[in-house]
Amino acid sequence: MWLGLPFRIPHSALRIGTMTQPTAIPIGRVVATEALPSSAHQFHFWTATDTAIGIGAIVRVDGPDGRVVHAVVVDARAYSDLMTPLHDVLAAEGDPAGAAAPTRRTEIRLWTANVLRQTPEEPVQPVPLSEVRLATADDVEVALRMDGYLRGERPSGIPVGLYSAGGVTSPIFVDADFLLGPESAHLNITGISGLATKTSAVEFLLSAIFQHFPAHKGRVAAVCFNVKGPDLCFLDQPAQLTEAEQDMYRQLEIDPQPFEKVSYYAPYRPDGVNLNTLRSCPELVGSVEPLTWGLREVLDYHEVLLNRDDVDAKADAFIDFLADRVVEKEFDDDWGGKHRVRSFSDLERLFRAIFDGLEGQGRSDMWRTHHIATIRKVRNRLLNISVRCKGLVTDDGGVSDLPFGAFEDRRVYVLDVAGMDQLGQDLVFTRVVSQLREHLERRDLGVEHVVVFVDELNKYAPQDGPETYVRKMLLDISERGRYLGLVLFGAQQFRSQVHRRVVGNAGTVVFGRMDLDELATPGYQVLSPATKLRLATLPKGELMVRHPHFTQPVFLRFPRPAVLNGRGGVERFPPSPDVSFADAVARQLAQLDRGIAPARVKDLIDGRREDDVRRALLATRRARPRPRDILGFFQSKLPAAVPRQNAERPGAGTHAVVRPLEDPYAD
């Protein structure tokens, strides 16, 4: 049994033969002494030594005056009538191996329970010294105040798992109004790697939300940042579930199916044609959309690039100048050059013109009120990103992005950034979340609610360390997202390492198997030692959940997600090694039209600039409606053929930068 106790029906229940309703029989009695009194929030009770309850079990006390108290067991003690350990030594004459005592001492199982709810709620009074019964499924509903949102005109329960104790199993629901706003929002999950089932719990929860989010609350989508290996790469593939797991799904009224609508996005590798994802198996890679941004997309989020240094108002001002006055505008440098900057290459041309101009001019270090050092710094930062995020940032302005404005109800958008470096991840994260935010503010995203899942939250919103733009943004979602429908689901191994205001604003908090050192940090002081021990030994698939409606945390169990996990995914769909430029292009076109022969594609692109090919390929992939003649369309997007001798060496594309930067951070 999941409580960690062997499952046993209380003897009394067996004797009377009421196994279906074991709770009709008291299993314990409240005791109170001056030293250990019953209070309005906590009480103590004893049971037979042979009992089905354990830490986390929900119980019910009926007072003589009709008062009903529901509570959860948080601690337990056992002791005998032995006065002092010395008496045991004396009786055994100092020999622990001596003959066993013929009589077992009278002993007690003394439990401590924290009150979940009292009915009536007023006046608040100490728990009566009455009999204790195990909660029935109905009791669990009342105890956790779920009756308030499961019944009535507009139910808003989302199943999160099964509570079970003493033979009673009942589904636990959280309130959508408190999970996805507006009352409260956000979910945070903590626990040690591999055992806490954090990622799995979020996947399961997303299915629960998609299947149970009430229609009257509108449309909901999820944006998941895949930051670790193949974790979220197979959300559309079914998992093999056992009969027991399927039964759990039945009890939770969730259809154990993979996500029906999933969109995958991944940047390219530096070669600009192979996608940087572990979902690269030929069978699946066709469903991965490239994520490519141009200069404009990057410039708009230049704060991300600058936040690693001390914030520099001068650099900021110069970037603003570029964004407002230069990019995509006719622009005259002061030396007769005309520029229309659309890409990083264009930008580099402008910078060269400025530097050359200033040099020719002699002594001046200023250009249009900007110091040359600032200009150099900004140039280095911007061009640096085009190097480090070569597969994300296109040199030529080709953009392939999430469908902001056309988000679909119950669709998951997975951004696979696992293969990107930190700077690129920060940039993707910042831009995507900012876009979501802006669209939600304008109410034109396509859905009213978006769950943003960020794994390894400690990396993006650390408690310590410098103030970064990403962390500021996570704080902003945490504090204001619920009014917008922008909901953060965050996961991390150590909650204590995540910014206090980020975890503090999560309305729903979930714990899987925990590390004892982490449990010793101040954030867990409210938990009883027994609860901590249980957290430190939780098996896979069991969680402790805090939710605004639950006065006390509740232990529950959820089934493995119905989707293929990362490890299973790469086994079933092994990632394919990167292929040559020509093969990659041929393969991508073949995905659009199976009839296209690779040899024809290779002939067509032979001798052409890779940039041109990439641009044509992107245009073909993104053409809507999809062209009937894929190859013809592709060909039409290629510039007229150039003689071979003018072509660059294969593999040395000028995709992003004009020339490599020796020290990207040098001013």
Partner 1 sequence: MPTEPLMNPVPTRARLREALRAMGASLSAGRLASNPIAPIQRPHAPAAMVEHDRIRAIPVRPLPPPPVVGFLDGIQRYSHEGNLGLVPVLRAHVAAMVQLREDGRLRVRAKVEKDFLVAPVARLTPAQRDRLMGLGLPVHESRAEEMVHPLVDRQRAVEEIERAREAIEHAAALQFVSDCPDFLLVVDGAIGEYPASWRAVGVAKSHETQFLSGPDLEVALTLPYGTRTSVFARTGSAGRKVHTWYLRLWPWEGEDLLYGLVRVERNADDESMAAATELSGWLLSERTPLSSPDGRWDRLLYPIHAVEESLRAQAGSWA
Ligand X SMILES: Nc1ncnc2c1ncn2[C@@H]1O[C@H](COP(=O)(O)OP(=O)(O)OP(=O)(O)O)[C@@H](O)[C@H]1O
Q: Burial letters for 487-514: b for 16+ Cβ neighbours within 10 Å, e otherwise? A: bbbbbbbbbbbbbeebbebbbbbbbbbb
Among Mg ion, partner 1, ligand X, none, what does residue 35 contact (CB within 5–8 Å per kind)? none
Binding site for ligand X (CB under 6 A): 191, 193-194, 196-200, 228, 493, 540-541, 558-560, 565
State the residue number with the nearest CB to ligand X: 541
Among Mg ion, partner 1, ligand X, none, what does residue 193 contact (CB within 5–8 Å per kind)? ligand X
Is residue 103 within the footprint of partner 1 (CB under 8 A)? yes
Give residue for tokens 């930051």.
227
Which residue, 231, 60, 74, is CA-closest to 137? Answer: 60
Q: Is the distance from CB of 142 to CB of 117 less than 8 angstroms?
A: yes
Considering the complex, what minimum distance in angstroms separates the CB of residue 199 from Mg ion?
A: 3
Select from 77, 87, 151, 540 the one that contacts partner 1 (CB under 8 A). 87
Nearer to partner 1, 11 or 540 (CB): 11
Among ligand X, Mg ion, partner 1, none, what does residue 92 contact (CB within 5–8 Å per kind)? partner 1
d(CA 284, CA 599): 22
The H or E element that residue 370 is part of is: strand 370-371
Considering the complex, what minimum distance in angstroms separates the CB of residue 88 from partner 1?
A: 7
Among ligand X, partner 1, Mg ion, none, what does residue 167 contact (CB within 5–8 Å per kind)? none
Among ligand X, Mg ion, partner 1, none, what does residue 344 contact (CB within 5–8 Å per kind)? none
d(CA 581, CA 481): 43
**Segment lying near partner 1 (by CB under 8 A), choices 78-86, 143-151, 179-187, 214-222:** 78-86
Tallying the residues shown for the chain, one arrives at 667
Q: How would DSSP label each residue in 167-204?
A: TEEEEEEEEHHHHBSSSSB-EEEE--TTTS-HHHHHHH
Considering the complex, what minimum distance in angstroms separates the CB of residue 190 from ligand X?
A: 9
3-state class of 416 per DSSP? strand
Give me the amino acid identity at 656.
A
Among partner 1, Mg ion, ligand X, none, what does residue 106 contact (CB within 5–8 Å per kind)? partner 1
**Segment lying near partner 1 (by CB under 8 A), choices 96-104, 301-309, 425-433, 510-518:** 96-104
**Segment lying near partner 1 (by CB under 8 A), choices 75-83, 314-322, 427-435, 436-444:** 75-83
Nearest-10 Cα torsion for 225, 402, 280, 421: -50
Is residue 646 within the footprint of partner 1 (CB under 8 A)? no
d(CA 103, CA 105): 6
Q: Is the distance from CB of 237 to CB of 468 less than 8 angstroms?
A: no
Considering the complex, what minimum distance in angstroms separates the CB of residue 95 from partner 1?
A: 10
**Segment lying near partner 1 (by CB under 8 A), choices 66-74, 89-97, 399-407, 416-424:** 89-97
Nearer to ligand X, 199 or 386 (CB): 199
Among partner 1, ligand X, Mg ion, none, what does residue 541 contact (CB within 5–8 Å per kind)? ligand X
Beta bridge partners of 544: 511, 555
Is residue 565 within the footprint of Mg ion (CB under 5 A)? no
Where are the alpha helices (H) located in 233-371, listed in sequence order? Answer: 243-252, 282-285, 295-299, 302-306, 313-321, 344-361
Which residue, 531, 521, 514, is CA-closest to 114? Answer: 531
Among ligand X, partner 1, Mg ion, none, what does residue 366 contact (CB within 5–8 Å per kind)? none
d(CA 202, CA 492): 12
Considering the complex, what minimum distance in angstroms separates the CB of residue 56 from ligand X?
A: 17
Beta bridge partners of 289: 265
- Count the residues of the shown chain that bind partner 1, applying the rule CB under 8 A: 18
369 phi-psi bin (left φ>0, alpha ψ -120 to 50, beta other): left
Among Mg ion, ligand X, partner 1, none, what does residue 197 contact (CB within 5–8 Å per kind)? ligand X
Q: What is the β-pairing status of strands 449-454 and 486-492? A: parallel
State the residue number with the nearest CB to Mg ion: 199
Nearer to partner 1, 30 or 604 (CB): 30
The count of other CB atoms within 10 Å of the CB of residue 423 is 18
**Segment lying near partner 1 (by CB under 8 A), choices 82-90, 116-124, 463-471, 629-637:** 82-90
d(CA 618, CA 639): 14
d(CA 46, CA 35): 16
Select from 75, 88, 131, 300 the one that contacts partner 1 (CB under 8 A). 88
Among ligand X, partner 1, Mg ion, none, what does residue 105 contact (CB within 5–8 Å per kind)? partner 1
Which residue, 654, 15, 532, 610, is CA-closest to 274? Answer: 610
Q: Is the distance from CB of 22 to CB of 134 less than 8 angstroms?
A: yes
Is residue 11 within the footprint of partner 1 (CB under 8 A)? no
Q: Which two tokens stand for residue 435?
A: 């876009």
d(CA 502, CA 511): 16
Among partner 1, Mg ion, ligand X, none, what does residue 540 contact (CB within 5–8 Å per kind)? ligand X
Select from 199, 226, 374, 620 the one that contacts Mg ion (CB under 5 A). 199
Nearer to ligand X, 132 or 233 (CB): 233
Nearer to ligand X, 374 or 565 (CB): 565
Select from 35, 66, 94, 99 the one that contacts partner 1 (CB under 8 A). 99
Q: Cα 327 to chain center, whole Å?
A: 35
**Segment lying near Mg ion (by CB under 5 A), choices 130-138, 192-200, 467-475, 640-648:** 192-200
Nearer to ligand X, 236 or 289 (CB): 236
Is residue 250 within the footprint of partner 1 (CB under 8 A)? no
Burial class (CB in 10 A: 0-12, 13-18, 19+), 192: middle
Nearer to partner 1, 77 or 87 (CB): 87
Is residue 36 within the footprint of partner 1 (CB under 8 A)? no
Considering the complex, what minimum distance in angstroms separates the CB of residue 524 from partner 1?
A: 39
Considering the complex, what minimum distance in angstroms separates the CB of residue 132 from ligand X?
A: 31
3-state class of 210 per DSSP? helix
d(CA 533, CA 45): 21
Considering the complex, what minimum distance in angstroms separates the CB of residue 435 from ligand X?
A: 27
d(CA 133, CA 277): 54
Nearest-10 Cα torsion for 62, 64, 66, 71: -30
Beta strand spans in 493-594 (E): 508-511, 542-546, 554-557
Is residue 101 within the footprint of partner 1 (CB under 8 A)? yes
d(CA 444, CA 393): 26
Select from 32, 92, 110, 658 the one that contacts partner 1 (CB under 8 A). 92
Is residue 14 within the footprint of partner 1 (CB under 8 A)? no
Is residue 105 within the footprint of partner 1 (CB under 8 A)? yes
Select from 40, 78, 90, 641 the one that contacts partner 1 (CB under 8 A). 90
Q: Is the distance from CB of 454 to CB of 460 less than 8 angstroms?
A: yes
Considering the complex, what minimum distance in angstroms separates the CB of residue 109 from partner 1?
A: 14
Considering the complex, what minimum distance in angstroms separates the CB of residue 93 from partner 1?
A: 8
The H or E element that residue 69 is part of is: strand 68-80
Is residue 182 within the footprint of partner 1 (CB under 8 A)? no
Considering the complex, what minimum distance in angstroms separates the CB of residue 14 from partner 1?
A: 16
DSSP state of 326: I
Give the interface with partner 1 as residue ranges (CB under 8 A).
81-84, 87-88, 90-92, 98-106
The residues of the shown chain that bind Mg ion, judged by CB under 5 A, are 198-199
